[in-house]
């Protein structure tokens, strides 16, 4: 299950737990943040280890492709989706 401190959640205009085609949302292991502008601040700190374009699960409301950013946070690797990356591997998330 995803747990985040209030100081992280407060950076965003709103958030949602269950509006994505990805199975992690169904299991309570993901959260979508909405920053209120076209620029988003990473909800986690760490090193970007990879960015890629991925296919979305086959849901009627899903787009065909999405963006994925993998951030090494030390004890876990965070997967950031739905954000067109302005970073590349080796950058800071």
One pLDDT digit (tens) per residue for the chain, 93 residues = 667 788 888 888 888 877 666 677 777 777 888 888 888 778 888 999 999 988 887 877 778 888 889 999 998 898 888 888 877 788 665
Asked if residue 32 belongs to a domain, the reply is yes
Full domain range(s) for residue 40: 6-81
Asked if residue 60 belongs to a domain, the reply is yes
The number of folded domains in the chain is 1
d(CA 83, CA 14): 16
Asked if residue 18 belongs to a domain, the reply is yes
Asked if residue 92 belongs to a domain, the reply is no
Asked if residue 89 belongs to a domain, the reply is no
> Which tokens hold the place of 2?
């995803």
Asked if residue 75 belongs to a domain, the reply is yes
Asked if residue 86 belongs to a domain, the reply is no
Asked if residue 62 belongs to a domain, the reply is yes
Q: Which helix (H) or strand (E) holds 50?
A: strand 47-55
d(CA 53, CA 79): 12
């Amino acid at each position: 299950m995803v747990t985040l401190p209030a100081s992280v959640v407060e950076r965003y205009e709103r958030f949602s737990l269950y509006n994505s085609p990805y199975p992690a949302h169904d299991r309570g292991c993901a959260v979508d943040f909405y920053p209120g502008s076209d620029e988003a601040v990473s909800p986690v700190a760490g090193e970007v280890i990879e960015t890629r374009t991925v296919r979305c699960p086959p849901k009627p409301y899903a787009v065909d492709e999405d963006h994925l950013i993998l951030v090494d946070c030390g004890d876990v690797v965070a997967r950031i989706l739905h954000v067109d990356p302005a970073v590349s591997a080796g950058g800071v998330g």
